[in-house]
């Protein structure tokens, strides 16, 4: 069966350090992989999209890598700030259709 796994344990990190989150998937051939931020009681907010033929994408302090051989994406928040504290979700999208399948999310807590 198809699985998308993110570390369910919360990631506690000191302000200024780099937070690295992992998204692993099995039995899936996504065309796109997306990362979202979700704050408590709110809907997800789109952060970054990376395509299957791309290795890396950056946006300000965020960096995403996509390894289709390892079936893994890494999400990095550099120079982390307390305002980055949230749950981060990865989501996969197949080439046919535009249905997103979400991972369970990883909660990040940046301590000042």
Segment interacting with another protein, rule: CB under 8 A, options 11-19, 21-29, 33-41, 63-71: 33-41
DSSP state of 18: P
Report, in Å, the least distance between residue 99 CB and another protein.
6
How many of the chain's residues bind another protein (CB under 8 A)?
Answer: 22
- Least distance between another protein and beta carbon 112 (Å): 25
Is 1 near another protein (CB under 8 A)? no
φ and ψ of 103, to 5 deg: -80, 175
Smallest gap from Cβ 90 to another protein, in A, equals 10
Give the span between the Cα atoms of 12 and 85, in whole angstroms: 9
Question: Which string of x and - marks every residue 75-104 that binds another protein (by CB under 8 A)?
Answer: --------------x---x-x--xxxxxxx
CA distance 24 to 66: 10
């Amino acid at each position: 069966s198809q699985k998308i796994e993110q570390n369910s344990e919360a990631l506690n990190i000191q302000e200024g350090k780099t937070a690295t989150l992992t998204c692993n998937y099995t039995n899936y051939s996504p065309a796109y992989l997306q990362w979202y931020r979700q704050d408590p009681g709110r809907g997800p907010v789109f952060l970054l999209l990376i395509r299957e033929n791309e290795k890396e994408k950056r946006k300000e302090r965020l960096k995403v890598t996509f390894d289709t051989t390892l079936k893994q994406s890494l999400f990095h928040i550099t120079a982390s700030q307390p305002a980055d504290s949230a749950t981060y979700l990865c989501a996969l999208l197949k080439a046919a259709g535009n249905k997103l399948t979400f991972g369970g999310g990883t909660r990040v807590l940046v301590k000042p």
